[in-house]
Amino acid sequence: MGIKAQNISKSFKNVTALKNISFDVKEGELFGLIGPDGAGKSTLFRILTTLLFADKGNATVAGFDVVEDYKNIRKNVGYMPGRFSLYQDLTVEENLEFYATIFGTTIEENYDLIKEIYIQIEPFKKRRAGKLSGGMKQKLALSCALIHKPKVLFLDEPTTGVDPVSRKEFWEMLKRLQQKGITILVSTPYMDEAELCDRIALIQHGKIMQIDTPQEIINHYPKNIYNISAENMHNLIECLNEYEHNYSVYPFGENVHYTDKRDLFNSQELYDFLQSKNLKDVEINNTIPTIEDVFMELTK
């Protein structure tokens, strides 16, 4: 059993953080919660890791109920909060040893599980955790979350504020952990990371909008999407917004993604329109949608 959540709702005073959230994570699955800041991802994590009671609904983690059986959950899950929350004034080794001890185990006992990750920060084991770089902090936090060999691993925005190279490495580590049979629930605001998950849930304003594999979600994208570039991006967006047939216009990297209201779209017509607006170096290409495009479509 991985994770099973049914109709979870949670409000804080007058803010509704989660509305009827239901989803399943299979054992050994790498499941992603994708959504912008404030979507309710962290609240959901806190409920599933027994730090917070839901107002409504129930959930099980590793087969244990989050309310009745919270003691067993705490023995069997690893949690890495969004904010770095290890002791900054203790060294790398002391932090790891501390968490090993309070879980009633030792570093040696589960060393094989964390070896690949810990070996990268081992040269700095006498350094205080507060003095580590962002990427190294993440590795230490992950090591600490894994030291008791959890069945389910919760990672709340593990790559926020981490450089692209470390992010890539981090996801490779997750894939390897998954192969060791650990169920992983990871949240991220980065859409590009979504494609690395087995399945994802797109979450916005406390509601899950879609759950599927990344490929299926992309396959269901209803529109043809066009990648448009021009010399002046700001003017380009303004002109496209003026164009009467536009359905959606939003910046995507260095270009603009555009969809049209009509099923039959003539790119030459748009090209001429943009030329008439004195835009230079205009290029229009059909492109493959990404998770980000799906998300923009869903939140429209």
Partner 1 sequence: MKIIGYIIQKEFKQIFRNKGMLPIIFAVPLIQLIILSNAATFEIKNIKFSYIDSDNTSFSRALVDKFDASKYFNLVARFPSTKEANSAMLNGDVDVILEIPKYFEKTLLKHKKTDLGVTIDAINGSAAGVENVYITEIVQNFNKNARVELMQPSDVINMPKNITTITSFWYNETLNYKTYMVPGILVLLVTLITLFLSGMNIVREKEIGTLEQINVTPIKKYQFIIGKLFPFWMIGLVLLTIGLIIAKLIFNIPIVGSLGLMYFYTSVYLLVILGIGLFISNFTDTQQQAMFIAWFFMVVFLLMSGLFTPVESMPTWAQYITEFNPIKYFVQVMRMVMLKGASFSDIFPQFIKTLGYAVIMNGLAVWSYKKIN
| Residues in contact with partner 1 by the rule CB under 8 A | 49-53, 70-71, 74-75, 77, 79, 81, 83-90, 94, 98-99, 101-104, 144
**Which C-beta is closer to partner 1: that of 130 or that of 251?**
130
> Min. distance of Cβ 107 from partner 1 in angstroms?
13
Three-state SS for the chain is CCEEEEEEEEEECCEEEEEEEEEEECCCCEEEEECCCCCCHHHHHHHHCCCCCCCEEEEEECCEECCCCHHHHHHHEEEECCCCCCCCCCEHHHHHHHHHHHCCCCCCCCHHHHHHHHHHHHHHCCCEHHHCCHHHHHHHHHHHHHCCCCCEEEEECCCCCCCHHHHHHHHHHHHHHHHCCCEEEEEECCHHHHCCCCEEEEEECCEEEEEECHHHHHHCCCCCEEEEECCCHHHHHHHHHHCCCEEEEEEECCEEEEEECCCCCCHHHHHHHHHHCCCCCCEEEEECCCHHHHHHHHCC
**Which C-beta is closer to partner 1: that of 42 or that of 259?**
42
> Min. distance of Cβ 130 from partner 1 in angstroms?
10
> Min. distance of Cβ 150 from partner 1 in angstroms?
10
**Which C-beta is closer to partner 1: that of 90 or that of 233?**
90
> Min. distance of Cβ 3 from partner 1 in angstroms?
15
**Which C-beta is closer to partner 1: that of 106 or that of 275?**
106
**Which C-beta is closer to partner 1: that of 36 or that of 130?**
130
> Min. distance of Cβ 216 from partner 1 in angstroms?
33
> Min. distance of Cβ 149 from partner 1 in angstroms?
13
**Which C-beta is closer to partner 1: that of 162 or that of 240?**
162
